[in-house]
Amino acid sequence: MTPYELLGLVAIIAVVRVALSLRPVATVSSGRSTSIAKEYLDPFIYAGIAAWLLITFVARTYYIPSASMVPTLQIHDVLLVDKFEYRFRKPTEGDVVVFPPPIPTPDDFIKRVIGLPGERFRITKGVVYINDVALSEPYIAQPPNYDLEIRNYGIYVNDGFGWHALDPSQANVPPKSEWTSANTIPPNCYFMMGDNRNDSDDSHVWGFAQVAGKFATGPRAGERAGFTGRAFLIFWPLSQAKILR
């Protein structure tokens, strides 16, 4: 249930509660039934408002529908996502993050933060390099089967058919004026990857995720960007329960 759906349900219960309070009491018996109805409805209203505040501003559950984060996250896992943490700090390398991607979709995506603003980033022969240092990634299912470089104000991918730059009409790649260097990740931009590297629709396809501002290019150019929160706990199924880094 989304925050809007929950708020709508609370509103319906509140309307019923008000209607009952305004209803004329004809007999002792009907007055007693109305009192009982109010007694049961009030706790639902208070609990609903508290739940809405919680999932809107603090934490929320998310369901995993795909295999893009295997082996870290399995299909049907249910996560708890902290929506409060990024109000006080920036995302860091390794965070598992829920966010709206820069492509049209009704749902948020969940990926791992790999590249940060201001970093040099490349993938060579299946190894990710940050500032020319190989990244240790014990969490991945397999190395990526493509090479990638951030250079010349763009994201260049070689998937076995030669190098090509991601098209700004199809991917979020800010214009040159928004970069601080031709070969480093632009401000507010993050390179996101699924742990199941070769079965993940991620930044090597649709460009950078953004922690703030509006998407610079791509199908959602001009729409508000941001990170929903950091996934920190798998709590269902119980056999998979664990704290995420």
Tokens of 60: 């929320």
CA separation for the pair 221, 218 (Å, rounded): 5
Burial, 18: exposed, middle or buried (Cβ in 10 Å; 0-12, 13-18, 19+)?
A: exposed
* Upstream peptide bond of 71 is cis (omega within 30 degrees of 0): yes
CA separation for the pair 230, 149 (Å, rounded): 26
Q: H/E element holding 219? A: none
Q: Is 143 left (phi over 0), alpha (psi -120 to 50) or beta?
A: beta
214 is catalytic: no
CA separation for the pair 190, 13 (Å, rounded): 42
Q: Which of 83, 111, 200, 203 is catalytic?
A: 111
Cα→Cα distances 55→62, 112, 121, 212, Å:
11, 22, 35, 20
90 is catalytic: no
Q: Which of 21, 38, 68, 214 is catalytic?
A: 68
* Upstream peptide bond of 219 is cis (omega within 30 degrees of 0): no
Q: Which residues pair with 230 in a beta bridge?
A: 82, 97
Tokens of 189: 């931009």
Q: Are 222 and 118 in contact (CB under 8 A)?
A: no
Active site residues: 68, 111
